[in-house]
Structure 1
């Protein structure tokens, strides 16, 4: 296969994301990606040293997309409505992009030595912290940001795994979310 002159990082990530979202993590290898791009696998190593670094790049992309969803949901709303809308946007992203969402939570031992989620993960965290801080009145409210993140992630994972069963959560999301948001609001100085 000839090396196309216009192979670029965005094209690689776009195609890798499509493969990941349609086939799951097992369906994404450097070989399947190369085949989809009509290049030799060795061509990809010019852009990504390994499958793991490709997954990290996709994780960065996922963090930015989730951040954009949270910002879009919370913008131009009062603090409580913004936090509620951002929470629903978080869950919607996890539902619509389960394989990308899973990349946000790679365990450190699954990453190449010395690699960590980069600036996109930090930007996502800061956005969540801002949404919470607007409601609680504390711009650095790590405790409530972690509580909300834990609640949303736990709900997303329980839902994804089918643990709720056919009857669904029966309002549990709203009960928990309301309790958390009311606690944040009452913490306001």
Structure 2
């Protein structure tokens, strides 16, 4: 039997998140068990329970890490973007199609899980708050202005992106090369954004 690795305080939790992320991205959430994770980390499975009470807590932590990574990439991509909201959703599409198992995990966490796991709730809130910032910018609105319109704009595009990326990942869309598929989905989401902007700003020449 392989000898368990020795970790300093806090290292098991950090290493476990990375190992769980690798397992899920390779084979989906069903591949993650506490024993499989312990083997990947190199510790006795009982050691994991000192950091995570159950498998659901690990899944919540991985989902939170997914949201943090997504937001980080979006922020970097939007630094000099002329249309940050559109750019953010283009990044989203690439992220979701390149990492389908992680994307599915992120978008299927329940409200109860977000409430029960603070890190997940905070990561989801950070992503949605930033989408609202970009949505208000697209509408020409300042902080606190046109909140309902900004929310409708962000969620319409998010619903389109999630639905299309999920269909694409499950092979329910017509066969395309990966690049053609990314372009197709990005174009459809852009169309939703443009349509919503026309609806919300009827006097605009967008």
In the alignment, what sits opposite 2:129?
126
Map of 1:27-38 to 2, 5 A cutoff?
Answer: 27-38=31-42
Map of 1:85-96 to 2, 5 A cutoff?
Answer: 85-96=87-98
Map of 1:46-57 to 2, 5 A cutoff?
Answer: 46-57=50-61
Where in structure 1 are there 5+ consecutive unaligned residues?
A: none
The yes-or-no answer on 1:26 pairing with 2:30 is yes
TM-score calculated relative to the size of structure 2: 0.78
The yes-or-no answer on 1:153 pairing with 2:162 is yes
Map of 1:24-173 to 2, 5 A cutoff?
Answer: 24-78=28-82, 80=83, 82-108=84-110, 111=113, 114-115=116-117, 117-138=120-141, 139=143, 140=147, 141-166=150-175, 171=184, 173=186
* Whole-angstrom CA distance in 2 between matches of 1:100 and 1:115: 17
* Whole-angstrom CA distance in 2 between matches of 1:130 and 1:148: 14
Give 1:181 shift.
Answer: 2.7
Task: Give per-residue Cα distances to partners, 1:41-60, cap 9 Å, x unaligned.
Answer: 00001111100000000011
Task: Verify the 8 A CA contact 2:77 2:87 in the aligned structure 1.
Answer: yes
Give 1:23 shift.
Answer: 2.1
TM-score calculated relative to the size of structure 1: 0.85
SS at match of 1:8: helix
* Whole-angstrom CA distance in 2 between matches of 1:13 and 1:75: 29
C-alpha change, 1:165 and 1:186, in structure 2 (3 Å) is: closer
C-alpha change, 1:112 and 1:137, in structure 2 (3 Å) is: closer
Where in structure 2 are there 5+ consecutive unaligned residues?
A: none
* Whole-angstrom CA distance in 2 between matches of 1:10 and 1:175: 37
Give 1:85 shift.
Answer: 1.8
C-alpha change, 1:151 and 1:109, in structure 2 (3 Å) is: closer
Deviates more, 1:87-96 or 1:159-168: 159-168
